[in-house]
Amino acid sequence: MRPSAIMDAGPWIALAPVLFSLVSASGAEGHRMSSKVSPRPVLGYWAIRGLAEPIRLLHAYLEVDLEEHRYGAPMLPAGDRPISAWPETKRQLAHDMALPNLPYYIDGRVKLSEAASIMRYVCERRAPGMLRPDLFEDKLEAAARHDQVLTFLFGANAALRAFHYGYLPQTRLSREKEADGRTGSLYFKDARSEQAVSAMAAVTEEQILDALKAGGVGIHGNAPTSEATSAINGPFIFGRDPCAADFLLYEHVQLARCSAPQIADREEVKRFCEAFERLPGVLDYLDSDRRVTVPFNAPVGPFGASMDPSRPYAVKDQ
């Protein structure tokens, strides 16, 4: 199962009867390019933050007007399409889209799924420098170093979302799934225990700090320490200008606050988030009514399920 399927399809399938009953009832300027490259692209996703929020943030920064298809009405406040519309849409997309799934992205004749592929495509088309930080003379090395961080963060994000939903991905045999009718992953009954939450918080914090230091490692001979961060001379992973990985990291930090609020108090994390939130385009988007504020995840798990915009990080009552 692909990470996006673990994070999105599983929780919705688990609550299908309930859901369907509801239905029937600055320096950064160098990266920014004109939105006139093509007609308005379409992003389809659940009406949650989830895997789509880094993509939305990226479009806001690049000043690309985005048409959204948000599935989840009437259960999700930001939904503009019923949950029941997705299966038929998926069947239609399957005619000319490989691996149709949520999120999906349509830009003229180009039709894609998978969040990582979408982010890479958007940057390659609109702002290629966001995939190749200028810290490195060798463009191949620059692209590989950035992709290394982006891949690392998508893996960390998938693991954190699985934990938030209370699932352990890929832990069941096919015959076990068929026997009890539960598709996807194994429900982790101890996901809310103090020990489990503490252990996951420690891992998540370590991964976030590793990502922040990754850009400066090897620059001027730096090891992966705090000196590596200062070597890049800027608040973002690879220095003064944000790259695609920064957009994923920012939303990953916000997601992490749902189960590990102390992460936001780390000085280096604070510095990164404050700089990111000041980016042109991003600043306006975060204050706009077109933003999906809540929930982070499908509202079925203990973490990231708050539907209260004034308390987006609140833990769901048991």
Beta-sheet pairing, 110-113 with 42-46: unpaired
Answer left, alpha or beta for residue 69, where phi above 0 means left and psi between -120 and 50 means alpha: beta
The span from the CA of 134 to the CA of 149, in Å, is 15
CB 253 within 8 A of CB 264: yes
Which residues are CB-neighbours of 122 under 8 A, at least 6 positions away? 41, 55, 58, 59, 62, 64, 105
Fold classification of 3-286 is Glutathione S-transferase Yfyf (Class Pi); Chain A, domain 2 (1.20.1050)
pLDDT at 316: 83
pLDDT at 6: 40
- The pLDDT averaged over each successive group of 10 residues in the chain (318 residues) is 44 46 42 57 98 99 98 96 97 97 98 98 98 94 98 96 79 62 61 86 94 84 53 85 98 98 96 97 97 95 94 86
pLDDT at 189: 65
Q: Cα–Cα distances in Å, from 262 out to 229, 230, 255, 257, 258?
A: 21, 23, 12, 7, 10
| Dmax (CA) of the chain | 62
The span from the CA of 181 to the CA of 31, in Å, is 48
Cα-based angle 58, 60, 63 (whole degrees, multiple of 5): 110
Q: Which sequence spans correspond to the domains of the chain?
A: 3-286
Scanning 166-256, the segments in alpha helix (DSSP H) are 174-180, 194-214, 226-231, 244-256
